[in-house]
Amino acid sequence: MGGERGVLVSGNWKMHQDHAETAKFVQELAALLRVSGVPAGREVSIHPPFTSLPALQAAVEAERVPVAIGAQTCHFAEAGAYTGEVSAQMLARLGVAYVIAGHSERRAQCGETDEVVRSKVDAICRHEMRPVLCVGETAGERRHGAAVAKVRWQVAAALAGRAAGTVASAVIAYEPLWAIGAGQTATPGDAGEMCSAIRDEVGRLAGPGAAAAVRIQYGGSVTPATAAALLGADSVDGFLVGGASLDAGQFAAIVRAGA
Ligand code: 13P
């Protein structure tokens, strides 16, 4: 659990919440968090669709709610002939603090390879934002005992050869593919085992200081009912929440889980 690293609870809205819905959501969340507060040592971020980023930024400022601005992806190039894409620099100029790289939906649906994901992490770090690097195994890989090797490989592919300080400030989200949107959550034991393996891999790549500092989230059907036990698992420093982050009440409850 978080300890000195602190806890980061992030909402990945995927392709939900237009700009008007975003403003309404932030008002609701702010009202809930004004009553209950964000526990000390916890940080909250929201990753809306690109078109909702300005509305999120404006609502967070207007409501004075402690929510960091996140994005769901970016292109790896600085600029160029990439129709439909958004660069890391454009996000940085909007005040984005965290950018997801390598979500399994983009790896599967948009053909993002480990090499592409690594280039995206490069771009995010170049613009002084923090990557939220997503890794995770399929059900078949887990059944065949290949889960840890797969996830270590993904971590190394994205982070090997980077400065310890860069790795220390990154976030890694362990999201087993079989748990995403499935209503099936990893047990605290399984999540803790994998998050500890990820921390060990970070130590191998970037040294003990980076391993101690890097924050590792769990993602995959997190709900208010499962969050507290997962947060008690070894090396779990927060959550990347999909479905439950679309409901202000549920998201606020996850932000406060176990506190
Ligand atoms: P769910 O919480 O809906 O399973 O989504 C998890 C996820 O993919 C977050 O990035």
Query: CA nearest 205: which of 152, 148, 160?
Result: 160
Ligand 1 binding pocket includes 136 (Cβ within 6 Å): no
Which residue's CA lies nearest to atom 1 of ligand 1? 242
- Residues 131 and 173: their CA atoms lie apart, in Å, by 10
**Domain range list for the chain:** 3-255
Contact 103, 134 (CB under 8 A): yes
Q: What is the 3-state secondary structure (H, E, C) of 200-255?
A: HHHHHHHCHHHHHHCEEEECCCCCHHHHHHHHCCCCCCEEEECHHHHCHHHHHHHH
Residues classed as catalytic: 103, 175
- Residues 50 and 86: their CA atoms lie apart, in Å, by 8
Counting ligand 1 atoms within 8 A of each CB, the residue from 8, 9, 13, 14 with the most, and so the one to mutate, is: 14
Q: How far is the CA of 217 from the centre of ligand 1 (A)?
A: 12
Q: What is the pTM of this model?
A: 0.97
Q: How far is the CA of 218 from the centre of ligand 1 (A)?
A: 10
Q: What is the pLDDT of residues 42-71, one digit of tens each?
A: 999 999 999 999 999 999 999 999 999 999
Which residue's CA lies nearest to atom 5 of ligand 1? 242
The pLDDT assigned to 3 comes to: 61
The pLDDT assigned to 155 comes to: 98
Q: What is the pLDDT of residues 195-224, one digit of tens each?
A: 999 999 999 999 999 999 999 999 999 999
Counting ligand 1 atoms within 8 A of each CB, the residue from 8, 12, 47, 216 with the most, and so the one to mutate, is: 12
- Residues 220 and 236: their CA atoms lie apart, in Å, by 13
Show the DSSP H helices in the chain as ranges: 19-36, 53-63, 88-93, 104-109, 114-126, 139-143, 147-159, 164-168, 188-206, 208-213, 224-231, 248-255
- Residue 81 tokens read as 């002939």
The pLDDT assigned to 165 comes to: 97
Ligand 1 binding pocket includes 181 (Cβ within 6 Å): yes
Within 10 angstroms of residue 115's Cβ, the number of other Cβ atoms is 11
Ligand 1 binding pocket includes 141 (Cβ within 6 Å): no
CATH code, residues 3-255: 3.20.20.70
The pLDDT assigned to 242 comes to: 98
Whole-Å CA distances, 259 to 17, 38, 42, 201, 231: 28, 9, 10, 29, 10
- C-beta pairs of 20-27 under 8 Å, 24+ apart in sequence: 20/55, 21/52, 22/48, 22/52, 22/55, 22/56, 22/59, 23/55, 23/58, 23/59, 25/246, 25/248, 26/56, 26/59, 26/60, 26/63, 26/65, 26/67, 27/59, 27/63
The pLDDT assigned to 4 comes to: 83
- Residue 96: alpha-carbon gap to chain centroid: 13
Residue spans of the chain under pLDDT 50: none
Whole-Å CA distances, 183 to 102, 180, 241, 254: 22, 8, 12, 16
The pLDDT assigned to 2 comes to: 53
**CA 105 to ligand 1: nearest atom:** 8
Q: How far is the CA of 142 from the centre of ligand 1 (A)?
A: 18
The position carrying tokens 């970070």 is 202
Ligand 1 binding pocket includes 241 (Cβ within 6 Å): yes
Q: How far is the CA of 32 from the centre of ligand 1 (A)?
A: 22
- Residues 12 and 239: their CA atoms lie apart, in Å, by 10
